[in-house]
A and B are shown apart, each in its own frame.
Chain A
Amino acid sequence: MAGGAPFLRLEGIRKDFGSFNALRDIRLEVARGEFVCFLGPSGCGKTTLLRIIAGLETQSAGTLHQDGRDISRLPPAERDYGIVFQSYALFPNLTTYDNVAYGLVNRRAGREAIAARVAELLRLVGLPEAGAKYPAQLSGGQQQRVALARALATSPGLLLLDEPLSALDAIVRVHLRSEVRALHQRLGVTTIMVTHDQEEALSMADRIVVMDHGAIDQVGSPLEIYREPATPFVADFVGKVNMLAATVRGPGRVQVAGQTFTGVAVDKAAGRSVRAYLRPEDIVARPIAESDANVFEATIEKIEFLGSYCLVRVRAAGMEEQPLTVYLSLNFLSEQGLAQGSRLRLRVLAERMRVFEA
């Protein structure tokens, strides 16, 4: 976001459907060439916001500027973007070639120029041979690539993706994820993608906009969102987390039942009841030195096998009321001969703990 005016600027965007507040005072700036994900649960307003940027919905209040131009009141046809929908919305009666060429034909480009551009785009999305096929003859993943090629054909300044991968099966989805990302890096087109899949957002975006109940909770890089969630909602929605009822016991000191953790980043006054959020990977089994603080004894209650890692639920000494979830590698468990009922020592990386008002 360093230097220059933002490519897209949203100010005070509000959307009401009757008495329902779909969006409340959205402010957001997107830099040129950025890949931004709108992430949130269904009904959080992320798709509505995307459709407002596209002009498919009209905001109840607020302004939008794209590339220095006020687009607040422009109809979709006068804005500059390409869009891909979850349903692909490919024209079923037109071939792949005609679908990709759809927006080019209207620009009165020469026939050869169009053919060259379509071939280039189909190569770009990895379907150089598919021109003559109808959408029904392509797989879901292929159809989505064609939709992407069609959206990019007119070289729009902004690419909008509305849950583009949600209708695909898991393997294709993961594969297309990296392809879309690679495509973005090659073309450098400013991209906004809506998704409810946190993995997708974390793996693809330059910045993530986490939304809930029609408002933006946090904007940040994937790492920031994951490591430093700004609200309990973000902490809970992105990734797994242990939520603990706790009390502040002075600078950097947080007490959870019978255990007190030190070195916590906490600015609340002593005596305040708070909620401490702790990721499973921030509770470690090794290395633990004798001098280490924040170490405690725990009993394994349940092991959920997930492959190379296991999700382990433990009861810690002094805080048995609040079970903790921990990631332990399969190798570690078998080396140590750990099973249900075994006891082990664990250490909390207290500096990673996030503390919010209860």
Chain B
Amino acid sequence: MAAVLGARAVARQRVHWTDRAGELMLAALAAALAAFLVAPLAAILLQSIEDARGRVIGLDNYFAYFETPALAHSLWNSVWVSLLVTALVVPAAFAFAYGLTRSCMPLKGVFRTVALTPLLAPSLLAAISFIYWFGNQGVLKEWMQALGIEQIYGAPGIVLAQAFSVFPHALMILITALSLADARLYEAADALGTGDARKFFTITLPGAKYGLASAAMVSFTLVITDFGIPKVIGGNFNVLATDVFKLVIGQQDFQKGAVVAVFLLAPALLTFVVDRMVQRKQTSMLSARAVPYAPRASRGFDAAITAYCSVVVLLMLAVFGMAVYASFVKFWPYDLSFSLRHYVLGLVDNEAGTAFGNSLKLAFATALAGTATVFAGAYLTEKLRGAAWLRATVQFLGLLPMAVPGLVLGLGYIFFFNAPDNPLNFLYHSMAILVACTVVHFYTTGQLTAVTALKALDAEFESVSASLKVPFWKTAWRVTLPICTPALVDISRYFFINAMTTISAVVFLYSPDTRLASIAILNLDEAGEPGAAAAVAVLIAATSLVVCILYLGLGWLVERRTQTWRKPA
């Protein structure tokens, strides 16, 4: 009788308690992402359709926004500046990436490293540096004015500084796109007697089109959502990102602030969707049988591209160098002798020293908590057998942060956690909320790295373990984790560097006790101490650099300690 019943009913396996424990962990993670990502975003959307007393009024805030000429003007400013930077950066980065991947240029490693260094510094560093070059007391102010630009403060400064800090992001995407070349296509074209220009337009460019689209979208989004650069070098030129800050922190007009945040969310969401589509197309483009492309020497072309890349790299070094130089100068521009005055002023007198300590704390905590959370999440979504619905939810929530600009996330945190009736209100103004916010802000890249590493493992490890009665976490600890340590090192470095340099989200959340170094730059600059601001920015960049080198060492150690099995006997 029992057998008959069993055959009729749809059978469901009993869940082993170890699997149940995994599902509970995953549920906890989903709840955390709901509280620290979904709820703040929902709070923004809700705020944007409510009036000041919390009544739902539909789209009135949006209409009011467009009826405020100054605000509508900022929207236009943001859009055209972002478009201009995109139009400048994408071709420039494409040419640079082309040189790195398709030429026999010497010193490729050096070019690549220098071009990616802006990633180590807060974006503010570029803005400060351009002030020293072209500002009121800038070295090359006359040159600029000879070109017909009256002053750097405003759109010109924003465009230049943004171009500098967005360049490496576009470059990374385009290097990847151009590396995915199938040599067989070029050989076939050669066999058919195709000219170089035609090969470029019929093979290279179509092959990189997804990368170009992605680079353009990412550039646009980074510029339109960046807050630090327009704050420092924007002068009276208003953009959306600075409006949000003024509306929320200055005028306490949460409703209009929320409306602007929604405007910033839109391009980022669009970028996210396009990027996901692009990723899917790009991976399917290169078949497993493709032959990697190896560039051949061509004297004229190699020389030209080397010259171009050298100019770009020199410009970057000039931006960096000026910030470093200015930070060590006694009294710009009158006394250019060497001095540590700005470092003393910045770190000691203005308590940026404690801020710097806070930044390090934040970076360490983010690297630890972020890596652990991201890896646990990726592991459970990849390896658990049941709870399909839960796994899909966590996977999606893990991808979502890429579509949320830091400024929007930070604003959402204010709306959500500052609400007096929120039981999580005690987190507000704590270090913990800064860590949570930063982990969520940079969650996606970590998750993608972890998932890629996990997908490379044999899918049957867990099946074998179950048959041997070994609980899954033991296998995770003894097998999965050791194999994935290089990826873990990468993820934690990514969290660390970004926590050191980020401004956009945390600028809404710090308290007097949790001031951060990157925010100290803003405050010092506002207080009329650009030298000290430069000093702190340089210190952050230097710290990131040192940490990168330490990570390199760590990576080497990890490689030796945990990856010996990869080598044949």
* Chain A residue nearest to B464 in the complex (CB): A89
Question: Would A106 and B470 count as touching, CB distance under 8 A?
Answer: yes
Residues of B contacting A91 in the complex (Cβ-Cβ under 8 angstroms): 461, 475, 478-479
Question: Would A56 and B463 count as touching, CB distance under 8 A?
Answer: yes
Residue of A75, A83, A94 contacting most chain B CB atoms (<10 Å): A75
Determine if B8 is an interface residue (Cβ-Cβ < 8 Å).
Answer: yes
Determine if A150 is an interface residue (Cβ-Cβ < 8 Å).
Answer: yes
In angstroms, how far is the closest chain B Cβ from the Cβ of A8? 15
Interface segment out of the listed B11-19, B202-210, B549-557: B11-19
In angstroms, how far is the closest chain B Cβ from the Cβ of A256? 44
Determine if B309 is an interface residue (Cβ-Cβ < 8 Å).
Answer: no
* Chain A residue nearest to B485 in the complex (CB): A93
In angstroms, how far is the closest chain A Cβ from the Cβ of B60? 47
* Among candidates B469, B470, B482, residue contacting A93 with C-beta atoms closer than 8 Å: B482
* Among candidates B7, B466, B474, residue contacting A11 with C-beta atoms closer than 8 Å: B7
Question: Would A93 and B11 count as touching, CB distance under 8 A?
Answer: no
Expressed in whole angstroms, the Cα–Cα distance for A94 and B478 within the complex equals: 8
Question: Would B7 and A89 count as touching, CB distance under 8 A?
Answer: no
Determine if A61 is an interface residue (Cβ-Cβ < 8 Å).
Answer: yes
Expressed in whole angstroms, the Cα–Cα distance for A11 and B14 within the complex equals: 19
Which A residues from 43 to 85 make CB contacts under 8 A with B?
A: 54-56, 58-63, 72-79, 81-83, 85
Question: Would B10 and A73 count as touching, CB distance under 8 A?
Answer: no
Determine if B562 is an interface residue (Cβ-Cβ < 8 Å).
Answer: yes
Question: Would A87 and B458 count as touching, CB distance under 8 A?
Answer: yes
In angstroms, how far is the closest chain B Cβ from the Cβ of A190? 15
Residues of A contacting B18 in the complex (Cβ-Cβ under 8 angstroms): 77
Determine if B195 is an interface residue (Cβ-Cβ < 8 Å).
Answer: no
Determine if B460 is an interface residue (Cβ-Cβ < 8 Å).
Answer: yes
Residues of A contacting B468 in the complex (Cβ-Cβ under 8 angstroms): 82, 102-103, 106, 150, 153-154
* Among candidates A55, A63, A87, residue contacting B6 with C-beta atoms closer than 8 Å: A63
Residues of B contacting A88 in the complex (Cβ-Cβ under 8 angstroms): 458
Which B residues from 434 to 482 make CB contacts under 8 A with A?
A: 458, 460-461, 463-471, 474-475, 478-479, 482
- Contacts A74-B13, A83-B463, A134-B565; A94 near B479 (Cβ below 8 A): yes
Expressed in whole angstroms, the Cα–Cα distance for A282 and B434 within the complex equals: 82
In angstroms, how far is the closest chain B Cβ from the Cβ of A181? 22
* Among candidates B460, B469, B567, residue contacting A87 with C-beta atoms closer than 8 Å: B460
Residues of B contacting A151 in the complex (Cβ-Cβ under 8 angstroms): 467
- Contacts A75-B19, A89-B458; A62 near B463 (Cβ below 8 A): no
Residues of B contacting A154 in the complex (Cβ-Cβ under 8 angstroms): 468-469
Question: Would A136 and B11 count as touching, CB distance under 8 A?
Answer: no
Residues of B contacting A79 in the complex (Cβ-Cβ under 8 angstroms): 467
Expressed in whole angstroms, the Cα–Cα distance for A50 and B466 within the complex equals: 15
Determine if A92 is an interface residue (Cβ-Cβ < 8 Å).
Answer: yes
* Among candidates B385, B461, B474, residue contacting A89 with C-beta atoms closer than 8 Å: B461
Expressed in whole angstroms, the Cα–Cα distance for A6 and B499 within the complex equals: 63
Number of interface residues of B (CB under 8 A): 41
- Contacts A81-B467, A103-B468, A136-B566; A92 near B3 (Cβ below 8 A): no
Expressed in whole angstroms, the Cα–Cα distance for A62 and B7 within the complex equals: 4
Determine if B191 is an interface residue (Cβ-Cβ < 8 Å).
Answer: no
In angstroms, how far is the closest chain A Cβ from the Cβ of B484? 10
Question: Would A75 and B565 count as touching, CB distance under 8 A?
Answer: no
In angstroms, how far is the closest chain B Cβ from the Cβ of A13? 9
Residues of A contacting B470 in the complex (Cβ-Cβ under 8 angstroms): 102-103, 106
Residues of B contacting A78 in the complex (Cβ-Cβ under 8 angstroms): 14, 16
* Chain A residue nearest to B566 in the complex (CB): A136
* Among candidates B3, B464, B565, residue contacting A63 with C-beta atoms closer than 8 Å: B3
Residues of A contacting B475 in the complex (Cβ-Cβ under 8 angstroms): 91
Determine if A123 is an interface residue (Cβ-Cβ < 8 Å).
Answer: no
Question: Would A137 and B568 count as touching, CB distance under 8 A?
Answer: yes
Determine if A12 is an interface residue (Cβ-Cβ < 8 Å).
Answer: yes
Question: Would B467 and A136 count as touching, CB distance under 8 A?
Answer: no
Question: Would B11 and A72 count as touching, CB distance under 8 A?
Answer: yes
* Chain A residue nearest to B20 in the complex (CB): A75
Expressed in whole angstroms, the Cα–Cα distance for A136 and B568 within the complex equals: 6
Question: Would A75 and B562 count as touching, CB distance under 8 A?
Answer: no
* Among candidates A76, A81, A133, residue contacting B569 with C-beta atoms closer than 8 Å: A133
Question: Would A83 and B16 count as touching, CB distance under 8 A?
Answer: no
Determine if B9 is an interface residue (Cβ-Cβ < 8 Å).
Answer: yes
Question: Would B479 and A73 count as touching, CB distance under 8 A?
Answer: no
Residues of A contacting B469 in the complex (Cβ-Cβ under 8 angstroms): 77, 103, 106-107, 154
Question: Would A93 and B16 count as touching, CB distance under 8 A?
Answer: no
Residues of A contacting B11 in the complex (Cβ-Cβ under 8 angstroms): 58-63, 72-73
Residues of A contacting B467 in the complex (Cβ-Cβ under 8 angstroms): 54, 76-77, 79, 81-83, 103, 151, 156
Determine if A135 is an interface residue (Cβ-Cβ < 8 Å).
Answer: yes
In angstroms, how far is the closest chain A Cβ from the Cβ of B179? 27
Determine if B483 is an interface residue (Cβ-Cβ < 8 Å).
Answer: yes
Question: Would B466 and A61 count as touching, CB distance under 8 A?
Answer: no
Q: B1-38 interface mask toward A, CB cutoff 8 Å, 1 = contact, 0 = none?
A: 00100111111111110110000000000000000000
In angstroms, how far is the closest chain A Cβ from the Cβ of B239? 50
Residues of B contacting A107 in the complex (Cβ-Cβ under 8 angstroms): 469
In angstroms, how far is the closest chain B Cβ from the Cβ of A313? 37
Expressed in whole angstroms, the Cα–Cα distance for A75 and B472 within the complex equals: 13
Expressed in whole angstroms, the Cα–Cα distance for A230 and B465 within the complex equals: 39
- Contacts A61-B8, A74-B14, A77-B471; A92 near B565 (Cβ below 8 A): yes
Question: Would B10 and A61 count as touching, CB distance under 8 A?
Answer: yes
Which B residues from 158 to 211 make CB contacts under 8 A with A?
A: none
* Chain B residue nearest to A56 in the complex (CB): B463
Residues of A contacting B478 in the complex (Cβ-Cβ under 8 angstroms): 91, 94
In angstroms, how far is the closest chain A Cβ from the Cβ of B287? 22
- Contacts A72-B6, A75-B14; A54 near B471 (Cβ below 8 A): no
Question: Would B464 and A150 count as touching, CB distance under 8 A?
Answer: yes
Residues of B contacting A103 in the complex (Cβ-Cβ under 8 angstroms): 467-470
Expressed in whole angstroms, the Cα–Cα distance for A72 and B563 within the complex equals: 40
Residues of A contacting B569 in the complex (Cβ-Cβ under 8 angstroms): 133-134, 137
In angstroms, how far is the closest chain A Cβ from the Cβ of B488? 14
Question: Would B458 and A77 count as touching, CB distance under 8 A?
Answer: no
* Among candidates A54, A58, A102, A137, residue contacting B12 with C-beta atoms closer than 8 Å: A58
Expressed in whole angstroms, the Cα–Cα distance for A72 and B13 within the complex equals: 7
Expressed in whole angstroms, the Cα–Cα distance for A135 and B483 within the complex equals: 14
Expressed in whole angstroms, the Cα–Cα distance for A63 and B10 within the complex equals: 11
Residues of B contacting A153 in the complex (Cβ-Cβ under 8 angstroms): 468
* Chain B residue nearest to A84 in the complex (CB): B464
* Among candidates A12, A77, A93, A134, residue contacting B479 with C-beta atoms closer than 8 Å: A93
- Contacts A83-B464, A85-B464, A106-B470; A92 near B483 (Cβ below 8 A): yes
Residues of B contacting A11 in the complex (Cβ-Cβ under 8 angstroms): 3, 7
Expressed in whole angstroms, the Cα–Cα distance for A63 and B4 within the complex equals: 9
Question: Would A89 and B483 count as touching, CB distance under 8 A?
Answer: no
In angstroms, how far is the closest chain B Cβ from the Cβ of A75? 4
Residues of A contacting B563 in the complex (Cβ-Cβ under 8 angstroms): 93
Expressed in whole angstroms, the Cα–Cα distance for A58 and B482 within the complex equals: 31
In angstroms, how far is the closest chain A Cβ from the Cβ of B373? 24
Expressed in whole angstroms, the Cα–Cα distance for A93 and B566 within the complex equals: 8
Residues of B contacting A137 in the complex (Cβ-Cβ under 8 angstroms): 568-569
* Chain B residue nearest to A55 in the complex (CB): B13
Residues of B contacting A85 in the complex (Cβ-Cβ under 8 angstroms): 458, 460, 463-464
Instruction: Supply 7 further A-B pairs (C-beta < 8 A) apart from A87-B460, A103-B470, A134-B565.
Output: A61-B7, A83-B464, A88-B458, A89-B458, A94-B478, A106-B470, A134-B564
CB<8 Å pairs between A and B, sample of 28: A61-B10, A62-B7, A63-B11, A75-B13, A76-B463, A76-B467, A77-B18, A77-B471, A78-B14, A79-B467, A83-B463, A83-B464, A83-B467, A85-B463, A91-B461, A92-B483, A93-B562, A102-B465, A102-B468, A102-B470, A103-B468, A103-B469, A106-B469, A106-B470, A137-B568, A137-B569, A150-B468, A156-B467
A residues neighboring B (CB under 8 Å): 11-12, 54-56, 58-63, 72-79, 81-83, 85, 87-89, 91-94, 102-103, 106-107, 133-137, 150-151, 153-154, 156
The 3 A-B pairs of least Cβ separation, nearest first, read A103-B468, A75-B16, A76-B466
B residues neighboring A (CB under 8 Å): 3, 6-16, 18-19, 385, 458, 460-461, 463-471, 474-475, 478-479, 482-483, 562-569
